[in-house]
Amino acid sequence: MPSLPVLTSIFQPEAVAQHLSAAYDLGGAASCSFFRQGLNDTYWVVGGNGRHYCLRVYRHGWRSSEAVQAEIDLLMRLTEAGLPVSVPIADAMGEWVQEWDAPEGVRLAVLFAAAPGIMVKDTAVSQSRTLGQIAGRLHSLTDSLELTYPRPKFDETYFIHEPLRNIQAIWGEKSAELDMLARLGERLERWLVELPCEPPFSGLCHGDLHSENVHFTEDGEATLFDFDCFGYGCRAYDLATFLWSRYLFASSEQKRQRTWLAFLEGYERERPLPMNTLPAVLRFVVLRQLWVMGIHAGAVTHHYGRRWLDEGYAAKHFGLLQRLVSDFKLA
């Protein structure tokens, strides 16, 4: 009987619960359910103490232990400074990062306190304003703390070169679309390379700041989470990611405009927008969409499966990219 390599595995929830109950002080036996498989695996955990947790199991090779430790350190520093973020939980030995053997290799795991409230994809005006305030506080805090971590730089390689390579590998037969992407990539790369990117215009960014990565309570409190993609670059990218999410989730064009303006209002309550931020945001929205398509295309061979990136996906995402280019007059 042959023994074949494994691309990715899923840990059994019952075994995860048993391990967490032994390794962490969760007030007794924990229960665990497998929630989703994305770029990483997510489990919901309820401790014997009745408290709720979120376990992230990183895909093998996705992040180094140093990069994960940087995320933990950042979250602890932000928590100490009073920013509402999901807090990592150390085990009974004081360790933050678990290393688990899997068929494909070692996988890292981190337990977080569950963010209170619920996800609201189509955020209300007040919720958008609150998230904008949190984004502004995040940028100001990370400037004042002068944090430097071994994390990605949001540059032309991150936004253009790697995504285009992944997209070409999946949709090589779509010559018209790929020609459009190549021309767009060349224009955006020239702009990005020449973009003045000095503090406070640049610095530490969340890297995935949209409405699926924040929970809201009934009384309007918000908690930001999922700093897995944090890195360094122009802060306009964080703002652009929220605007990009309005194109995906806002129920109407009017709602998109109102929530975007509310987000900016909230941000400016915490820190002024540097000059030329808003024109840069529009281009970063397009770069965000290109990056997302590249991430999805790159994950096909070991994660999502080729069928997921079917003609429906291509029509939706190439279509959104073309719409953004048209709306922002970037053609």
What do you get for the CA distance between the two ends of the chain, in Å?
Answer: 56
Q: Which fold has domain 119-327?
A: Aminoglycoside 3'-phosphotransferase; Chain: A, domain 2 (3.90.1200)
Q: Which helix (H) or strand (E) holds 122?
A: none
- The pLDDT of residue 38 is 85
- The pLDDT of residue 262 is 99
pTM greater than the 0.85 cutoff: yes
Identify the CATH homologous superfamily for domain 13-113.
Phosphorylase Kinase; domain 1 (3.30.200.20)
One-letter amino acid for residue 187 of the chain: R
Q: Which residues contact 41 (CB under 8 A, 6 or more apart)?
A: 10, 11, 34, 56, 57, 59
CATH 3.30.200.20 in the chain, residues? 13-113
Confidence label for 60 from pLDDT (cuts 50, 70 and 90): very high
Confidence label for 82 from pLDDT (cuts 50, 70 and 90): very high
Dist. CA 182–CA 198, nearest whole Å: 28
CATH 3.90.1200.10 in the chain, residues? 119-327
Dist. CA 226–CA 212, nearest whole Å: 9
CB atoms within 10 A of CB 108: 21
pLDDT digits (tens, 9 = 90+) for 243-274: 999 999 999 999 999 999 999 999 999 999 98
Confidence label for 172 from pLDDT (cuts 50, 70 and 90): confident
Please report the DSSP string for 248-285 in residue order. HH-SSHHHHHHHHHHHHHHHHHHSPPPTTHHHHHHHHH
Dist. CA 92–CA 77, nearest whole Å: 21
Confidence label for 197 from pLDDT (cuts 50, 70 and 90): confident
